[in-house]
């Protein structure tokens, strides 16, 4: 058979095979992929028998290689995987957590403000925090000195690794349902206690100025990490039609991407905390930089994440990244 004639007759079928090789597939899609793979293999054999090596055969071979990789579960190149991770998997996983993150943020602020108001309104509680001169020193020197006592690069590294570790704990130990809540309450009450000390010394505004530049993104990342951990817990409590093991595996794969992504986001907040918060810049500039960093994260989470979600992404691995577990031939 003439190679051009065969190509013209089969081109639409080959293009359909190529499309299936790149798409997310359900059971029917996998069946179709197998059938079309076999048909295209027969076409390639016919081409090689009729005309030997040819441009048409090379084109079809490329399509068949991609289809075979999809069927056998062989991984894409590292560049392709990295691109998919940042374009689709990570933003989709973050987008799934948006409402839980909002609830956690509101609860955190309520606990922090409530703790600060409770302590500041009761001199007996304030007295339990330490002697008056120590509290005065904290308000006058220690609080602001924390941001400048170390070189900026060293301080940035310290806060980045500490916050990344907290985020990792929230995700990894979230299945307990207790650890993320404990971490959040502990940090909210600690922030509220500091706020009470600063407030009774008329320096609450100074505290807000020092926390806002880096804290907007930093705390959002911690809220997202806690939300991911609680989603893990809920997958175990209410797995739906899946077994608990399947539910935990699926959520674990999806939400582990969140933990990795937050490492990068917390690096950005660490840069702001190390090189912006303690520097002698006008406060509107500092807060503006922090707000810009938060805006970048929220756009990535909500806008890009929504687009990825509409394409069917959940943050989980696609089938051929872990090997398609079941292939059912029609």
pLDDT tens-digit readout, 165-210 = 999 889 889 888 999 999 999 999 999 999 999 999 999 999 999 9
Cβ-based burial of 63 (10 A; exposed 0-12, middle 13-18, buried ≥19): buried
- CA angle, 51 then 54 then 57, to 5°: 95
257 band by pLDDT with thresholds 50, 70 and 90? confident
Q: For the chain, which residues make up each domain, given as ranges?
A: 3-72, 85-319
Q: Which two tokens stand for residue 41?
A: 């293999």
74 band by pLDDT with thresholds 50, 70 and 90? low
**Contact between residue 43 and residue 6 where contact means Cβ atoms under 8 Å apart:** yes
Q: What is the dihedral of CA 130, 136, 137, 138, to 10 degrees?
A: 70
- What per-residue confidence (pLDDT) applies to 1? 56
- What per-residue confidence (pLDDT) applies to 323? 40
Q: Which two tokens stand for residue 309?
A: 């979600």
Helices assigned H by DSSP within the chain: 3-22, 27-51, 55-72, 78-84, 90-96, 98-120, 123-127, 132-137, 143-145, 152-172, 179-200, 204-237, 244-272, 283-298, 305-310
132 band by pLDDT with thresholds 50, 70 and 90? very high
* Residue, of 23 and 135, whose pLDDT is higher: 135
* Residue, of 44 and 189, whose pLDDT is higher: 189
Q: Which two tokens stand for residue 158?
A: 């310290």
- What per-residue confidence (pLDDT) applies to 59? 81
**Across 49-69, average pLDDT:** 80
| DSSP codes of every residue in 88-153 | IIHHHHHHHTHHHHHHHHHHHHHHHHHHHHHHHT-HHHHHTT--HHHHHHIIIIIHHHTTTSS-HH
pTM of the model: 0.74
Q: What percent of the chain has pLDDT over 90?
A: 50
């Amino acid at each position: 058979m003439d190679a051009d004639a065969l190509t013209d007759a089969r081109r639409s079928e080959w293009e359909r095979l190529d499309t299936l090789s790149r798409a997310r597939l359900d059971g029917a899609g996998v069946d179709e992929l197998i059938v079309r793979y076999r048909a295209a293999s027969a076409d390639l054999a016919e081409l090689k028998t009729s005309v030997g090596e040819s441009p048409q055969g090379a084109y079809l071979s490329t399509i068949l290689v991609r289809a075979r990789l999809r069927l056998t579960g062989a991984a894409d190149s590292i560049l392709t995987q990295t691109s998919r991770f940042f374009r689709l998997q990570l933003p989709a996983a973050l987008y799934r957590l948006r409402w839980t993150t909002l609830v956690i943020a509101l609860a955190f602020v309520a606990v922090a403000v409530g703790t600060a108001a409770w302590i500041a309104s009761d001199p007996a509680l304030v007295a339990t925090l330490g002697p008056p001169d120590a509290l005065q020193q904290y308000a006058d020197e220690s609080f602001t000195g924390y941001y400048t006592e170390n070189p900026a690069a060293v301080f940035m590294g310290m806060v980045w690794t500490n916050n990344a570790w907290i985020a990792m704990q929230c995700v990894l130990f979230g299945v307990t349902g207790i650890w993320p809540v404990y971490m959040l309450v502990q940090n909210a009450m600690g922030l509220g206690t500091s706020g009470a000390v600063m407030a009774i010394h008329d320096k609450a505004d100074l505290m807000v100025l020092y926390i806002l530049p880096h804290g907007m993104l930093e705390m959002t990342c911690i809220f997202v990490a806690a939300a991911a951990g609680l989603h893990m817990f809920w997958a175990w409590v209410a797995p739906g039609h899946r077994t608990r093991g399947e539910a935990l595996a699926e959520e674990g794969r999806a939400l582990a991407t969140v933990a990795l992504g937050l490492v990068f986001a917390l690096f950005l907040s660490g840069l702001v905390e190390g090189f912006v918060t303690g520097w002698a810049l006008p406060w509107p500039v500092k807060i503006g930089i922090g707000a810009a960093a938060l805006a970048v994260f929220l756009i990535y989470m909500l806008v890009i994440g929504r687009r990825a979600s509409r394409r069917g992404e959940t943050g989980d691995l696609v089938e051929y990244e872990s090997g398609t577990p079941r292939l059912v031939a029609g």
